[in-house]
Amino acid sequence: QSVLTQPPSASGAPGQRVTIPCSGSSSNIGTNIVNWYQQLPGTAPKLLIYVGFPRPSGVPDRFSGSKSGTSASLAISGLQSEDEAVYYCAAWDDTLKGVLFGGGTKVIVL
């Protein structure tokens, strides 16, 4: 059971905006950098966003991240078919002394 909570799925039509929430606690999201990863089918994860810092090179500005208190979110605007993937939030946890991943959210482009 993941300590970072994400919905299992989210969907939207092409061009729409989709937001994925990630809920944690004061020992992880509340204190540390929140990272978002995109995993396309059959491939390794890719760093998409580390909240509060510039997007990694090559990541479209359609992807944005935010954090408030012990929650974070990933927004995808102008949804495209190639955005169909599983998205994971992650953060270091000061109490557990380890990195926590959310359970993953599968984004479906309708």
Partner 1 sequence: EVQLVESGGGLEQPGGSLRLSCAASGFTLSRYEMNWVRQAPGKGLEWVSYISVSGGSIYYADSVKGRFTVSRDNAKNSLYLQMNALRAEDTAVYYCARDGTGGFSFDIWGQGTKVTV
**Quick one: 28 or 73, whose CB is closer to partner 1?**
28
Is residue 66 a contact point for partner 1 (CB under 8 A)?
A: no
Q: Is-contact 7 20, C-beta < 8 A? A: yes
Span from 15-23, 27-35, 60-68, 71-79 in contact with partner 1 (CB under 8 A): 27-35
SS3 content of the chain, % helix, strand, coil (to 5): 5, 50, 50
Candidates 11, 47, 60, 95: give the one binding partner 1 (CB under 8 A). 47
Using CB under 8 A as the binding rule, whether residue 65 contacts partner 1 is answered as no
> In whole angstroms, what is the distance from residue 21 CA to residue 7 CA?
7
Q: Which DSSP string corresponds to 52-105?
A: TSPPPTT--TTEEEEEETTEEEEEE-S--GGG-EEEEEEEEETTTTEEEEB--E
Confirm or reject binding of residue 7 to partner 1 (CB under 8 A).
no
Residue 25 tokens read as 């606690």
- 33 lies in the site for partner 1, by CB under 8 A: yes
CB closer to partner 1, 77 vs 94: 94
Q: Which residues bind partner 1 (CB under 8 A)?
A: 2, 32-33, 35, 37, 39, 44-47, 50, 53, 56, 86, 88, 90-92, 96-104
